[in-house]
Amino acid sequence: KVKSQLEEKEGKTFDVFTAVEFKTQVVAGTNYFIKVHVGNDEFMHLRVFKSLPHVNEPLSLHSYQSSKTKHDELSFF
């Protein structure tokens, strides 16, 4: 659901976009930290926010880190 948001921010499209790991953090909603394989040996770390159910807002890409590798630790950012 956030692939198009990332593609817009990066100004390119990703043929490969596969989540390989994730962590969660409960705040006033939930932050999802997701390691995504975007092709070749390239990975990106995404922070996606999901609001509380009563707010009824769509998932939003809050921030991301590019130039990651498969072995980079997924941490809160």
| 74 within some domain | no
For residue 57, count CB atoms less than 10 angstroms from its CB and return exposed for 0-12, middle for 13-18, buried for 19 or more.
Answer: exposed
Number of domains in the chain: 1
Q: Which domain holds residue 17?
A: 1-69
**10, 44 contact by CB (below 8 A):** no
As a whole number of angstroms, the distance between CA 36 and CA 68 comes to 9
In a domain, 12, yes or no: yes
Quick one: tokens of 66? 């590019």
- Asked if residue 51 is part of any domain, the answer here is yes
Give the pLDDT confidence score for residue 48 in this predicted structure: 96
17: in domain = yes
Q: Within a domain: residue 60?
A: yes
76 within some domain: no
Domain membership of residue 16 (yes or no) is: yes
Give the tokens for residue 59.
């998932």
Q: What is the pLDDT of residue 55?
A: 87
**pTM exceeding the 0.75 threshold for the entire prediction:** yes
How does pLDDT run across 19-73, given as a tens digit for each residue? 999 999 999 899 999 999 999 999 999 999 999 988 888 899 999 999 999 999 9
